[in-house]
Amino acid sequence: MKKVADSAKTLNKQHFRPYVDQEGGINVYSSLTRKQGRILFRLRSNHAGFGTYKAKIYGESPLSANCVDVEEDLEHIVFKCPSYNGYRSNIFGFFIKKNVAPSMQLVLGGFKSVPENVEIARILLQFFSDIGRALDV
């Protein structure tokens, strides 16, 4: 039984590696409120209620309500949708400050350090709050 528990621990550490610092200490989720952590998890697992999710689960159209003939997914909302251009300054400002190119992997916690992942998580959550997208589905 101990061997199974050890392999589960290893699997968890590998799966959530970007969220745990190299010393195995604090993680991103412990730095957020429970609600923020739940929203971040839904964003990371593509269960945040965007068009592509609704199409898969409910058979609804995956198209964006704001853009013509464009599927509404996380990348479209965060980086491409012209409706939200005025709200992206903090996201792009973060990447400019870090001198790295923006990517979905990094937005969702692909940095090697927990403080950077916590900072971008808070910026992302604030972005969704600012654009009025309730992600507590």
What is the reported pTM? 0.76
pLDDT of residue 30: 86
As given in the structure block, the two tokens for residue 8 are: 């589960």
The C-alpha atoms of residue 42 and residue 117 are separated, in whole angstroms, by: 16
**Other Cβ atoms closer than 10 A to 101:** 7
pLDDT of residue 61: 84
Is 43 buried (19+), middle (13-18) or exposed (0-12) by CB count in 10 A? buried
Average pLDDT of 16-23?
49
Running DSSP on this structure, what letter comes out for residue 71?
B
Confidence of residue 14 (pLDDT cuts 50, 70, 90): very low
Domain ranges of the chain: 17-45+82-130
What's the mean per-residue pLDDT of the chain?
Answer: 81
Question: Number of helices and strands (H, E) in the chain?
Answer: 7, 0
- Pick the more confident residue, 46 or 16: 46
pLDDT of residue 80: 92
pLDDT of residue 56: 84
Res. 7: pLDDT tops 80: no
Most confident of 35-39, 69-73, 95-99: 95-99
pLDDT of residue 107: 93
